[in-house]
A and B are shown apart, each in its own frame.
Chain A
Amino acid sequence: MYGFLIVLGLLLLVSVIWMVYRVQTLVSVMKGSEKKIASGSNKVNAAMFMVFLILSFILMAWYSVKEFDNYQLPIASEHGQITDNLFWITMAVTGFIFILTHILLFWFPYKYQYEENKRAAYYPDNNKLEIIWTLVPALVLTVLVISGWRAWKDITSPAPENAHVIELLGYQFAWDIRYAGQDNQLGRHDFRLTNATNSRGVDFTDENALDDFESNRVVIPKGEPVLFRIRARDVLHSVFAPHMRLKMDAVPGMPTRFWFTPTKTTAEMREETGNPEFEYEIACTEVCGSGHFSMRRVIEVVTPEEYQQWLAEQKPFIVQNPDLVANLPADKKKVAEIMIEENK
């Protein structure tokens, strides 16, 4: 049925096109406009450029202003402030060029449309002009690049010593979160150790791993540096926290990292946006299979005090599941058991 309708629609379309075509050919033969260099359509097309210029600018300006609060996500990290500034500076510069060049591009066709007894200017080159419009963009770009480079250098610099270390492990199709625990050191991992009870492949012979714990949301303190250590278990994924202006691929076999300092707690953000359900989110931005669009995790930014309190409540893996250390060599097992006792 639908197929029939589609075919019918296509036939209709083609016949309309054909009729328009025939009618206007006959008309143009009558008028003899075939013989002219530029027919009456030339004026119409020239005018259309102006119409397009004006209407589309109005549309763009109206929509950009009206939607500003929608597309401009609130910023919640220190470096996000800087990169957003760069973004809007670049927007100002390119926006100016965009408007200027488009006015010229659409106004010239209108202004210099064909006239029978006019002649175009023979103006093949002008080295001075060429040099000017090579140098000016070069200079402007240099300024943009240098400011971008300085921001990039800071963002990618090594994390401060005191950064809270959190591991994000991407897999099809979710993120596993692991905290470094009291010692703020993540235990080693080995993908060969992965199994149903140890989904992160944590190596519990490493003492640093004993106090590591899991969480189903990323809880972090406001105003203190946080270091994401990012891994992938199967294919590429990418951590994207839009409000933190943070993105980093998760690569199997090559741990990556990104550090940042959150500036607003979830509660503050709820107030600011007037949305009592607001949550910071993590999404995946590297295509990874059918569930790519559903790898959601929540980041909860809390005050440092709340954070310490929360931290104290968390139970290490080995406390939650003592079987994890059942097969360790005797000496390591001893340490682990003490750890379990302490955390009971």
Chain B
Amino acid sequence: MAVVNTATHGDHAHEVHDDHHDNFITKYIFSTDHKMIGKQFLVTGIFWALIGGFLSILFRLQLGFPEMDMSFLRPILGGWITETGELDQNFYLALVTMHGTIMVFFVLTAGLSGTFSNFLIPLQIGARDMASGFMNMLSYWFFFVSGLIMFASLFLEKGPAGGGWVVYPPLSALEQAIPGSGMGMTLWLIAMVFFIASTLLGGINYITTIINMRTKGMTFARLPLTIWSFFLTAVIGLLSFPVLFAAALLLVFDRSFGTSFYLADIYIGGEALPHTGGSPVLYQHLFWFLGHPEVYIVLLPALGITSEVIATNSRKPIFGYKAMIISMLGITILSFVVWAHHMFVSGMNPFLGSVFMFLTLIIAVPSAVKVFNYLTTLWRGNLIFTPAMLFSIGLVSFFISGGLTGIFLGNSAIDIQLHDTYFVVAHFHLVMGSASFFGLMAGVYHWFPKMFGRMMDSKLGYIHFWLTFIGVYMVFFPMHYIGIAGFPRRYYSWTNFDFANMYTDLNMFVSIAAIVTFAAQFIFLFNFFYSMYKGRKAPHNPWRSNTLEWTTPINPGHGNWPGEIPSVYRWPYDYSKPGSAADFIPQTVPLSATPESNLPHEEELVKLEKQIMAEEGQVLVANESNK
């Protein structure tokens, strides 16, 4: 592809692109254009979010209204509603499992990274497309196939996988143990293999593109924080997803070929199985070696998006750009050495527990730094509350609330009581689920004009935000109380236990809040699809932002910039710079053009800049004469 040499500034690749006429299939389906692929990921992600959300409403009905007659769901759920109008117990577990899998992998990994890494990386670093458009297309279609398989598993007679989203063996290995561990689990594993392939294809592309295809002047120290976060996310994914693949593969062997990697000494269904010597704890180590980094795969892009949105709408540089990068680097590295904090009471050696407790609490430090930096960015800003800005502030709030409870859980002595209770559910839904979801929303509201050339309606955005923000807290905050009281996770009902036979009112409240919050998402859906066709036409740079994507045409074609790719002369956060008349200076404005606002060290750079521009001129002239 001619696209590869974009770094050399003046190539004519775009003209080549404009020549071939896209038909429907190459434009909307098997597209290799990063923008279209990003949108494909987004729309698919939204589809999955609706499915995942709907499943959670089903089990919230069960938890909030245990007495309710659910016969009215029979048209949808068929045999999963028993004769007496109750939800089937195995199906309850299947719902929880599918909800977790869908949300973590399909919505917050593919839907978030897939959308914004694809859409923004070339636009913000100044490239015409991804390093390999074809691999990028494959990445989407592997994800699509993965989704099809997972979706099909929802309709199996014995139900989809039901061992929790972590699918711990032996439960997930033995069909005798739970019906979902039959065909449902097989499809789960196949779907995950496709998903892992998709993530790796995408990740390799993101990394290569960021390293090799930045436009002239776009040094790493001038990359927007979004790009930094996508970059580190891809690195984490590339290193950790193969381990999940290994874990899944061994599980396949145990399930289908009689090996004993994870199985030992099992007596079930009236017979002793032949397996000996395996270890279920081994699976947990492998799973969480992906699982913990995965939570940062989900969160980092959201943090990157937020940094960008908050800086732009505060009309201030992000505070501590370098510190932000260093903390993300720190998180990246540390995220690989804390996995066993999910296993304090798994029976592993308590000494390991001590080690992982120390490592885990170290990771809280860079997280804290990020929070303080966000706060300082808001401080003395000139804040404009676009819906994206609101969602970003919401994200910071969730990141704080959920991050702080991590400090309890990371302390192994305290975790003895809290592990696998609703406290953990509250923790990760706030810090990972809701925070990342808000990052996704912030991104959609912020870059919608670039995606579709139209504006979303901001009033509906405000209503959507406030309902969702309050709703999320109403759903997840009460879970802390429930968790401290010791309510275990993944329980169909709590009435069997005296200690947990309370809080029926609170659980009902949570369920109602969940339904309202889910309903509020339809405001977003309406806004999204309606604005796509009928929204107000977007101006060129609606948020008066500095980054490169706003220098493209309102509806960028293949290749993104019709002419040459612009060069970059400064970092992306020159907002409200003293001396400058406008309150933002795009990255494409040379320092030499803004002597009034340059800082002392930038004056030094001006000389260098002039020199480079002179050389440029010579090259250009040479090129012209070569024609």
Chain A residues within CB distance 8 Å of chain B:
2-3, 10, 13-14, 17-18, 20-21, 24-25, 28, 34, 37-39, 41-42, 44-46, 48-49, 52, 56, 60, 63-64, 67, 70-73, 80, 82-84, 86-87, 90-91, 93-94, 97-98, 101-102, 104-106, 108-109, 112-115, 118-126, 129-130, 133-134, 137-138, 141-142, 144-145, 148-149, 151-153, 155-156, 172, 191-192, 194, 201, 230, 233-236, 238, 240, 242-243, 245-249, 251-254, 256, 277-279, 281, 283-294, 296
Is B379 in contact with chain A by the CB < 8 A criterion? yes
Confirm or deny: B1 has a beta carbon within 8 angstroms of a beta carbon on chain A: no
Question: Contacts A152-B354, A191-B265 given: A46-B383 contact, CB under 8 Å?
Answer: yes
- Is B78 at the interface (CB under 8 A from chain A)? no
Can you list 8 A-B pairs, Cβ within 8 angstroms, ordered by A?
A39-B458, A52-B470, A67-B481, A73-B485, A130-B369, A145-B411, A235-B171, A293-B492
Residue from the list A38, A86, A254, A287 in contact with B384, Cβ < 8 A: A38
B residues bordering A, Cβ < 8 Å? 72, 75, 89-90, 93, 163-164, 168, 170-171, 174, 177-178, 263-268, 272, 276-281, 314-323, 345-347, 350, 353-354, 357-358, 361-362, 364-365, 368-369, 371-376, 378-385, 390, 393, 396-397, 400-401, 404-405, 407-408, 411-414, 416-417, 419-421, 457-460, 462-463, 466, 469-470, 473, 477, 481-482, 484-486, 488-494, 496-500, 502-503, 519, 522-523, 526-527, 530, 536, 544, 573, 575-578, 583
User: Is there an interface contact between B265 and A288, defined as CB atoms closer than 8 Å?
Assistant: no
Q: Give the chain A neighbours of B390 by CB distance below 8 A.
A: 45
Residues of A within 8 A of B318 (CB): 124
A residues in contact with B494, CB < 8 Å = 293
**Other-chain residue from B404, B482, B526 in contact with A98 (beta carbon distance below 8 A):** B404
- What separation, in Å, do the CA atoms of A18 and B353 have in the docked complex? 55
Q: CB within 8 A of B481: which of A25, A71, A82, A246?
A: A71
Q: Are A252 and B263 neighbours in the complex by a CB distance under 8 Å?
A: yes
Return the chain B residue nearest A108 by Cβ. B378
Smallest beta-carbon distance B442→chain A, Å:
14
Which of chain A's residues have a CB closer than 8 A to the CB of B414? 83, 86-87, 90, 148
A141 to chain B: closest residue by CB: B361
Q: Give chain B nearest CB distance to A78 CB in angstroms.
A: 13
Please give, as numbers and ranges, the residues of chain B lying within 8 Å of A155 by CB-CB distance: 413, 416
What 8 additional pairs, Cβ within 8 angstroms, besides A105-B375, A242-B499?
Answer: A10-B522, A38-B385, A45-B385, A120-B315, A125-B320, A130-B369, A149-B358, A230-B347
A306 to chain B, nearest CB (A): 22
A interface majority secondary structure: helix
Closest to A72 in B: B484
> With a CB–CB cut-off of 8 A, which chain A residues contact B578?
122
A235 touches B400 (CB 8 A): no
Q: Are B350 and A156 in contact (CB under 8 A)?
A: yes
Chain A proximity of B338: nearest CB distance (Å)? 13
Question: Which of B345, B393, B493, B500 has a CB less than 8 Å from the CB of A247?
Answer: B345
Cβ–Cβ contact A287 & B164, under 8 A: yes
In Å, the complex CA distance between A191 and B272 comes to 7
The answer to whether residues A41 and B499 also contact, given A87-B414, A122-B576, A125-B321 and a CB cut-off of 8 A, is no
Residue of B nearest to A101 (CB): B400
Contact A249 B345 (CB under 8 A): yes
Q: Is the CB of B416 within 8 A of A123?
A: no
Nearest-Cβ distance from residue A252 to partner chain B, whole angstroms: 5
Contact A137 B365 (CB under 8 A): yes
Q: How long is the Cα–Cα vector from A235 to B401 in the complex, in angstroms? A: 34
**Shortest beta-carbon distance from A75 to chain B in Å:** 10
A294-B499 Cα distance, complex, nearest whole Å? 13
Give Cα A291 to B493, complex, Å.
10
- Of the residues A60, A112, A152, contact of B477 by C-beta under 8 Å: A60
Residue among B362, B372, B575 having the largest count of chain A Cβ atoms under 10 Å = B372
The reply to whether B419 and A285 form a contact with Cβ atoms under 8 Å apart is yes
B522 & A17 in contact (Cβ 8 Å cutoff): yes
Most A CB contacts (10 A, CB to CB) among B320, B498, B499 go to B499
* A191-B408 Cα distance, complex, nearest whole Å: 38
